[in-house]
Amino acid sequence: MKKYPRIVQSDMRGQIVIPKDIRQELGIDEGSAFWVYSVGDEGILLKKIEEKPIEESKELDEIYEKSEKIGISKQKIIQTKENYKKSKRGKLEEI
């Protein structure tokens, strides 16, 4: 990883562009997710959220257990999981 500082500017909506070489080095693609932390008065810290295969995810299991309360059929959840496993990326974030 390169250790020298970079200067980027935010646009009128507060968005910034992460330089291409850093995106490539960290595997940041369109749709990548981040935790955003405030670091006192110094600025912000972005931490990339690693995607997990759906088989390793607990979120879908929790939704399945609470399906009646939230009005989703258990069969729909099972079908979504199966369809998703067949998808290109097979990651929970695309459901």
- In terms of domains, do 28 and 58 share one? no
Buried b (16+ CB within 10 A) or exposed e, 17-54: eeeeeeeeeeebeeebeeeeeeeeeeeeeeeeeebeeb
> Token match 């970079």: residue?
6
Task: Quick: pLDDT tens for 55-92.
Answer: 556 666 777 787 777 777 788 777 777 776 676 555 54
* Rounded alpha-carbon distances, angstroms, from residue 10 to 6, 14, 15, 25: 13, 5, 5, 22
The pTM score is 0.49
Give the domain extent around 22.
1-50
- In terms of domains, do 72 and 43 share one? no
